[in-house]
Amino acid sequence: MWFIKLIGKLKFTGFVCFFIFVIFFFGPLLNLLLLAFSGEWQYPDRLPSEWSLTWWTFVLQNDAIISSIWLSFLIATIVTLISLLICIPAAYAFARIQFPLRRFFLFSFLLTNAFPKMGLYVSIAVLFYQLNLMNTFVGIVLIHLINTLMYMTWIPSAAFENVHRSQEESARDVGASPLKVFWHITLPMAKPGIIVASVFTFLSSLNEAEGTFLVGIPDYRTMPVIMYSIIADYPSTAGSVFSVILTLPTILLLVAARKFVGAESFANGFKLK
Amino acid sequence: MSIQLSVEGLSKIYQTGEGVRDISIEVAKGELVTLLGPSGCGKTTVLRSVGGFVDPSEGIIRIGDRDVTNVVPEKRPSAMVFQSYNLWPHMTVYDNLAFSLKLKKKKKSFITERVDWALNLVHLTGSEKKYPSELSGGQQQRIALARALLLEPEVLLLDEPFSALDAKLRHELREELREIQAEQNLTMLFVTHDQEEALSISDRIVVMNRGKIEQVAQPYEIYHKPASLFVAQFIGRMNFIKGYAQPDGIRIDQLIFPNERGLIGEVAVGIRPEDVKLSEGKPSIEAKVAKIMMLGHYVEVTLHTIFGQLKMFIDKNEINTVELGRIVHVTLTRIQSFQDSNENYLERNEAYATI
Ligand SMILES: Nc1ncnc2c1ncn2[C@@H]1O[C@H](COP(=O)(O)OP(=O)(O)OP(=O)(O)O)[C@@H](O)[C@H]1O
Ligand SMILES: [Mg+2]
């Protein structure tokens, strides 16, 4: 009997945890959504007393904002493509070649995320001044790449490691050249991991603000950069409208990716060795 | 018979200093030769050298009349089945099997026909649409075998293909493999560390130890005439006791055996349990019955003698002739003595009791 009780207890705790998670995760989102469509909302009312789309029209008719959305997506796409080109070969090398510095290299990717970002960006900015990369498109892409290299190397590398050597060798054995083996066997088997990494890369680039602000101002203003000024200059409703727009692609992409690769592979992408 | 695979003076030394040295093997067309030896003795290294996955440090490998020593795996007329992880999980069974034919740009109707043929051969007709994860371990290995057969290899290489399976399945697949091999007249090099498996399916066995060949012979000969102490220890059950070799014979307690090879001094004497016989006759060894185990059609009796433990096999009908704790007399009908020369015990003397 005691174990039934235990399972019941575990289930209950699980449920409570899930509930807390839902509140913490969806609560602010819901609040944001309500705020975005509200005209007037005063404390202590539970719901807005008046609904309106004023700030939606404001945001969607503002040229600077619209162009920032395009710019953000353009940058995110380019950054994702470039990271794929750079990191897939690197990830494969990390997974297959047992060179001694392997752990150190993987760790160094983590390190870039361990330091305070602003410090890193400022020192990079100094370098960019000398190279005339400040206020350029290339400069922004470069600064985004610093963040994305980690996902793009580490996650696919774990995926490549799950492809066994004998699976590649079998393919050689039946007559495939090394290139064909990579194309027909290794890459498709690592595909879920690569998709997961690409989604993360795309989103991280889409949401990057600090570095973009530092390097891109004044000519290149992406969504998150614009958002700072909107939050500073307009009522909170404008900010929440913009947040919804900013959050939307994240949710859409995650849902799409989940359909594509399945939750299991999502978790596997994190099975780091 | 024509030689289909020949390995000449093959050496492969890894950076660690381990590897194989001076391996020479010839396999005739339609022959099944097994590489047998303990873990780490270099069986896989030899097999992978033949398949093209290991670059030999020295030596020549020929398949048919062709020197393939420097040919890449995809161009070698060999096919390999690995211990596990043979199949590609993102492809169906059909695609796994068809992959090689698609690479060769064969017609679709031809491919379907061949895949059918291969699946029929391994008794898995109708599983084309399944994914490898939907197959049992044994079925996966069968598909791997089918894929190898589709290559119509001049030499089929198998590296412990059944070792991850349970005993019953292993027996079944072993028999099936032997049938297919005979039917298709396949030339095969088979790796195993299971001596029973090797003895049961091989035309010839290559026994390896520490990167070297100890003996190459037919199963019967490997069992009855082991060329070295290692082979004697590794293959089948064997009692080992100490004996003393003198010019006039090899002495074990009261028993004296002919010493035709002229061994000298202390020797290791190996006796198969079936060569230990109960005897009332005079020169015999006194022994106490310590354990009696019924093992199906025969009985294993453990005896204590003054030179240690001795196992004896007797027929199940004779079980009443031994009794726990009683003193019996036994004699040895056949012994093999090994003299320690360079620690290898390669000097061998075979002797039969002259009763
Ligand atoms: N790639 C390698 N690098 C270094 N040493 C290796 C390598 N492959 C094998 N060895 C060493 O060479 C020796 C022979 O290995 P091999 O795999 O051929 O043995 P095996 O007989 O197949 O053993 P098992 O029955 O365990 O599969 C071992 O001592 C092993 O440690
Ligand atoms: Mg091996």
Residue ID of nearest Cα to ligand 1 atom 7: B14
Cα–Cα separations (whole angstroms), residue B138 to A162, A164, B119, B131, B306: 22, 19, 14, 14, 49
A172 touches chain B (CB under 8 A): yes
pTM: 0.82
Per-residue tokens: B182: 């005979």
Q: Which B residues 160-179 touch A at CB under 8 Å? A: none
Q: Which amino acid is at A143?
A: I
In a domain, B196, yes or no: yes
- End-of-domain residue from the set B224, B249, B265: B224
Per-residue confidence band for B139, with pLDDT thresholds at 50, 70 and 90 = very high
For the record, the structure tokens of A157 come out as 């590398």
Segment A246-272 shows an average pLDDT of: 65
Quote the pLDDT of residue B185.
93
**B-chain residues near A174 (CB < 8 A):** 74, 79, 99-100, 103, 147, 151
**Confidence check: pLDDT of B266 > 90:** no
Look at residue B352 in the predicted model and tell me its pLDDT: 61
Same domain, B215 and B266: no
Residue B355 has pLDDT above 60, yes or no: no
State yes or no: pLDDT of A33 exceeds 70: yes
Task: Quote the CA–CA distance of A248 and B274 in Å, as a whole number.
Answer: 81
Least confident among A190-194, B152-156, B280-284, B333-337: B280-284
Domain harbouring B197, CATH code: 3.40.50.300
Mean confidence (pLDDT) of chain B: 90
Both structure tokens of A221: 């203003």
Determine the pLDDT at residue B158. Answer: 95
Looking at the structure, tell me whether residues B181 and B60 fall in a common domain: yes
B148 plus B253 within the same structural domain: no
Q: How far is A270 from chain B (nearest CA, A)?
A: 20
In the predicted structure, residue A162 carries a pLDDT above the cut 60: yes
pLDDT value at residue A271: 42
**Do B143 and B260 fall within a single domain?**
no
Go through the domains of chain A in sequence order and give each one's CATH number.
1-52 (no CATH), 62-268 (1.10.3720.10)
Residues B37 and B179 in one domain: yes
B92 touches chain A (CB under 8 A): no
Q: What is the pLDDT at residue B336? A: 87
**Lowest mean per-residue pLDDT among A22-36, A81-95, B151-165:** A22-36
Per the domain annotation, does B77 fall within a domain?
Answer: yes
Does B85 contact chain A (CB < 8 Å)? Answer: yes
E-assigned strand segments in B171-283? 188-192, 204-209, 212-217, 239-246, 249-252, 255-257, 265-271, 276-278
pLDDT score, position B354: 45
| Closest to A131 (Cα-Cα) out of A145, A143, A118 | A143
| Subunit contact B78:A180, Cβ cutoff 8 A | no
Boundary-marking domain end, from B192, B224, B256: B224
Asked if B112 and B170 sit in the same domain, the reply is yes
- What spacing in Å lies between the alpha carbon of A117 and ligand 2's midpoint? 49
In this prediction, residues B86-94 reach a mean pLDDT of 94
pLDDT value at residue A236: 77
Higher pLDDT pick, B116 / B355: B116
Structure-model confidence comparison of residues A151 and B302, the more confident one: B302
Give per-residue pLDDT as tens, B30-75.
Answer: 999 999 999 999 999 999 999 999 999 999 999 998 999 999 999 9
Find out whether B26 and B6 touch, Cβ atoms under 8 Å.
yes
Taking CB atoms and an 8 Å limit, are B73 and A167 in contact across chains? no
Residue B298 covered by a domain: yes
**Residue B140 is part of which domain span?**
3-224
Asked if residue B352 belongs to a domain, the reply is no
Q: Is the backbone peptide bond immediately before B273 cis, with ω within 30 degrees of 0?
A: no
Domain boundary among B224, B253, B288: B224
Sheet holding B66-67, edge to edge: B19-28, B3-13, B58-63, B66-67
Rounded alpha-carbon distances, angstroms, from residue B148 to A176, B20, B33, B109: 14, 26, 17, 20
- Note whether residue B96 is domain-resident: yes
What pLDDT does residue B346 have? 55
On whether any CB of chain A is under 8 Å from the CB of B131, the answer is no
Residues B219 and B243 in one domain: no
Confidence of residue B350 (pLDDT cuts 50, 70, 90): low
Provide the pLDDT confidence category of residue A128 given band limits of 50, 70 and 90. confident
Q: Which residue out of B100, B106, B152, B155 would a mutagenesis test of the A interface target, given it has the greatest number of A Cβ atoms within 10 Å?
A: B100
Give yes or no: residues B58 and B129 share one domain.
yes
Query: Predicted ipTM?
Result: 0.84
Residues B246 and B218 in one domain: no
**B273 and B146, same domain (yes or no):** no
**H or E segment to which residue B27 belongs:** strand B19-28
Distance B159 CA to ligand 2 centre (A): 7
Q: Residues A99-126: pLDDT tens digits?
A: 677 777 767 767 766 777 788 888 888 8
**Number of structural domains in chain B:** 2
Residue B68 has a pLDDT of 95
The 10 Å CB-count burial string (b at 16+, else e) for B89-100 is: ebbbbbbbbbbb
Task: Report if residue B295 sits inside a domain.
Answer: yes
User: Among B10, B20, B23, B43, which is best to mutate for testing ligand 1, by the most ligand atoms less than 8 A from CB?
Assistant: B43
B191 lies within 8 A of chain A by CB: no
B42 lines ligand 1 (CB under 6 A): yes
| Confidence band of A11 (pLDDT split at 50, 70, 90) | confident
B120 & B83 share domain: yes
Q: Is the CB of B41 under 6 A from ligand 1?
A: yes
Both B168 and B308 in a single domain? no
